[in-house]
Every structure is written in structure tokens, then in C-alpha cells.
Amino acid sequence: MRHSPASRTPPGARHQSAKLRVGFVLMHNFTLTAFSSFVDVLRLAADEGDRSRPIGCSWQVMSPGRRPARSSCGIDIQPTADLGDPGAFDYIVVVGGLLHGMPPLPSAVAAWLQRAATAKVPLVGVCTGSFVLCRLGLMAQRKCCVSWYHYRDFLEEFPTLVPVADQLFVVDGDRITCSGGAGVADLAAQLVTQHLGSAVAQKALNILLIDRPRTADSAQPAPRLGGGPGDGGRGDGGIDDARVSRALLLMEQNLAEPLPIAALAHALALSPRQLERLFAERLGESPQESYLALRLRHARWMLANTPFSAARIAADLGFADGSHFGRAFKARFGETPAAFRRAAARPARRSAPAEETRVFE
């Protein structure tokens, strides 16, 4: 049987000669889509067609003792290597998954990631892998990209850090964080572009039936907001304009100090008049009305789930004073903050509104 020259090259030598070398560390209950999307872009970029030889790119999945890692869907992945020299990689990717109920990070993995950071190896957190990097103190003074779904979880656990929930991924020096999902393929394509060229990255995406890569600052697809009482008449069940979705995400990230509508419009490369028109067309209300609705829905959540006084909540959400907050709350929900809190404290009510744990649920 004849072998190509590449197949006669020892695996270790192929890894060292590759232009892009990536190591993966999979958390327990990691998200399979995030991992597989990243690997498949590397695989397709590494060779001609889809022959999958690790020539231009190489990758290793690592764990202490090569112990299998279980994904959130129950499929186990067998690592290809133990934890070795982190300097052998151009990037080390931490793939997270289910946020709650996750066992403590093994001390060997924690120490190895710290070692990688000391060696200045760029660390990448995808999905909730960003939480892992933050828990290790490796994101201090860095911007951190998180999914809109975990935005409030992040704020509650890391109040001193800066989360970004309206972009697909964020590059901040030698730390890269990605919200997860399909955006992981876009991140992988950007790394391939940097190391092997845009044509190679586009070829990989084309085989995956992805038309073109999205940039880091592309908006995360926002959840649809269901219509209901007090929700601005959004009876169509959702938003089909990415600019409106992104504006809402920016609003949620700036509840305490509401941004001027002109600043929101500028961030979206729109004029205030264009933004007003989009909100009227898509939501049937003005940006100011939507902004107030988000702040009041968050206030309602805080009344039901925190011990903070109404005055403290009013201050935290940018209301002029408690009276202003109380009037706005009653106009929106038909009862005062105090009456709502009393009702929410009853056992039957306390367990009911699970959908209110986040603004976008």
C-alpha cells in the first residue's frame, strides 16, 4: 500500500509544522455544537477538499489522563492527548456548556490553564468556557463575550467584569471569548483567515454550507419577544430585524444608566429618526417605550427575587426617585411595587414566573 508523503510524517511533526495549532479542553457537559463547529472549520481548512489530513491546521483534545469528556447531550469524546506543553499551541480553547450543576474544575486543568496564560498562549472561551476563564481570574480588565441567555448569570457571578452580549465574539489581546452556537464557526474562520488566508477559511465555510463568515462585531441573533399584556402590542410573537434586536440587547446591558436614543442609534450606524421608524414598524412603540419596558420588567424580577428596597431598585435602574419608579411601575403592571412584592412572596406565586428570570425569556 502506497502512502502520501504527508501520511508518512509522524503526527507530532505534522502538529509542529502546521500553521495553526489548536488545543481543546472540554468541560463536563460541554456543548457539542460549539466543539464540533470549531473542529470542522479547522479540519476542512487543513487539507484539500474534505480529506481531513491535519496539514495546514492541527488540533488536539486534552484531559488529565485522557479521561473522556461527556457533552451535554450525553455523547462522550475521547481525548487524543494528556495535558502537555501549552506552548505547543497557537490557541487553547476551553469549551463550556451547561452552566449550572457543573462539577468543580479539576485542579490539574486549572493549573494547566494558568500555566498557559503565564506562557502568553492565547486562551479562547467558547459558550460558557468564558465563565471558566473568569473563575480562574484570567479575564481581569478584559471584555468578555457571553450569550444573551447568560448575560444576567454573568453579572451576578462577576459584577466587576464587563460582559458583551450583543456580539458573536470578542478579541481582547490574548483572550478571545465567543457566545457559542453557530458563532463558533465564524470565530474559527477568523483564526483560519489570520493564519492561512481568507480563501482557505471561505473554502471551509462553503463546504459547511455557510455563505460567508460574520465578523466579531456582528450581532448575536436575539430571542423573540412574545406579545402580551404590557408588552407594547407585540402580538406577532417576535422581531425580524437584527438592528432592533441588537438595540434591545444594548438597552438591557445599560439598564442602570440608560443610554440616550441618539447614542443607541449611533452604535447601530443609524440616525435617531431611522431607529424610531424601525421600532415603530417592528414593535409598534418608540425606543424610549421599549427601554422603559425593559427596565420595569427587570425591576419586577428584582422585586420578586432580591431583598433590595424599592428605592434601591429605582436607583439601580436609573429612575429619578422612588416616586417616579412607583408611578411607572403601576402604569405598566397595574399595581404598586409594594403590592407586587407582597404577592410575589406567597409560595404559589414565588415558584410560578420562571419565565421572568431573564428579560429575554
Among residues 186, 206, 107, 110, the alpha carbon closest in space to that of 145 is found at 186
What pLDDT score does 239 carry?
55
Which of the pair, 246 or 2, is modelled with greater confidence?
Answer: 246
Q: What CA dihedral angle connects 7, 8, 9 and 14, to 10 degrees?
A: 10
Q: Is the pLDDT of residue 99 over 50?
A: yes
pLDDT band of residue 240 (cuts 50, 70, 90) is low
87, three cell numbers? 506552548
351, three cell numbers? 415558584
Q: What is the mean pLDDT of residues 15-30?
A: 92
Q: What is the mean pLDDT of residues 313-334?
A: 92
Q: Is the pTM of this model over 0.85?
A: no
pLDDT band of residue 8 (cuts 50, 70, 90) is very low
Q: Is the pLDDT of residue 228 over 60?
A: no
Q: Is the pLDDT of residue 128 over 70?
A: yes
134, three cell numbers? 473568569
pLDDT band of residue 63 (cuts 50, 70, 90) is very high
Cross-strand pairs, 145: 164
Q: Are 306 and 356 in contact, with CB atoms under 8 Å apart? A: no
Q: Is the pLDDT of residue 234 over 80?
A: no
Q: What is the mean pLDDT of residues 183-194?
A: 97
The residue whose grid cell reads 421572568 is 356
C-alpha to C-alpha distances, 195 to 20, 61, 93, 294, 319, nearest whole angstrom? 6, 20, 16, 42, 49
188, three cell numbers? 474559527
Which of 55-59, 166-170, 207-211, 236-240 holds the top average pLDDT? 55-59
Q: Is the pLDDT of residue 231 over 50?
A: no
pLDDT band of residue 357 (cuts 50, 70, 90) is very low
| Average confidence score pLDDT of the chain | 85
What pLDDT score does 249 carry?
81
- State which H helix or E strand residue 15 sits in: helix 11-17
Q: Is the pLDDT of residue 92 over 90?
A: yes
Q: What is the mean pLDDT of residues 59-68?
A: 96
Q: What is the mean pLDDT of residues 227-252?
A: 61
Q: What is the mean pLDDT of residues 190-210?
A: 95
- State which H helix or E strand residue 221 sits in: none
